[in-house]
């Protein structure tokens, strides 16, 4: 069974740092490059959540680790969603900003559910998170 590692916490910290570095921390004006960086950060969170969901479903991680780690990932995605909701961008980039905002909220909600999900729900959530990650490619 997997156990919590410093690597997982470090990844969440790096993603949070990337969100701040992308100019999203204060809800400022986002450039195309910043939106791309946001998408990459969210893709990372969704991919890690999908892996966690598959491992939990297969019994390769403890219930406690799944709950705690999914909460950490959910908080990072929730912070991104909050920042994206407050952000502004050029009119031509508004559709991309709306899409990222929606996906960040969905990823956060799926990750939050993952920590308390049944085995069947874990498999479904892993699939949903994988789809979100692919959408962000």
Q: From first to last of its 137 residues, what are the pLDDT tens digits of the chain? A: 444 444 455 455 444 444 444 444 445 689 999 999 999 999 999 999 999 999 999 999 999 999 999 999 999 999 999 999 999 999 999 999 999 999 999 999 999 999 999 999 999 999 999 999 999 99
Residue 89 within any structural domain of the chain? yes
pTM: 0.81
Q: Can you give the pLDDT at residue 68?
A: 98
Q: Has residue 44 been placed in a domain?
A: yes
Give residue 43's domain range: 8-135
In this prediction, residue 18 carries a pLDDT of 47
Judge residue 108's burial from the number of C-beta atoms within 10 Å of its C-beta, 0-12 exposed, 13-18 middle, 19 or more buried. Answer: buried
What does the pLDDT read at residue 25? 46
Q: What is the pLDDT of residue 8?
A: 54
Q: Report yes or no on 69 lying in a domain.
A: yes
User: Does some domain include residue 100?
Assistant: yes
pLDDT for position 16:
46
> Under DSSP, is residue 90 helix (H, G, I), strand (E, B) or coil?
coil
For residues 41 and 35, give the distance between their C-alpha atoms in angstroms, rounded to a whole number.
10
DSSP letter for 1, please: -
Using alpha carbons, select from 53, 44, 47 the residue that is nearest to residue 22.
Answer: 44
pLDDT value for 5: 46
Q: What pLDDT was estimated at residue 27?
A: 52
Q: Is residue 1 part of a domain?
A: no
Assess if residue 74 is contained within a domain.
yes
In a domain, 29, yes or no: yes
Residue 92 lies in a domain: yes
| Count of domains forming the chain | 1
pLDDT number for residue 71: 98
pLDDT at 17: 42
């Amino acid at each position: 069974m997997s156990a919590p590692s410093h690597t997982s916490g470090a990844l969440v910290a790096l993603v949070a740092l990337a969100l701040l570095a992308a100019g999203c921390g204060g809800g400022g004006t986002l450039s195309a490059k910043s939106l791309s960086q946001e998408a990459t950060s969210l893709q990372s969170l969704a991919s890690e959540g999908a892996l966690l969901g598959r491992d939990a479903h297969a019994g390769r991680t403890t219930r406690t680790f799944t709950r705690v780690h999914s909460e950490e990932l959910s908080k990072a995605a929730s912070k991104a969603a909050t920042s994206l909701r407050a952000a502004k961008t050029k009119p031509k980039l508004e559709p991309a900003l709306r899409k990222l905002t929606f996906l960040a909220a969905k990823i956060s909600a799926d990750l939050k559910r993952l920590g308390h999900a049944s085995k069947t729900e874990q498999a479904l959530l892993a699939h949903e998170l994988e789809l979100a990650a692919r959408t962000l490619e």
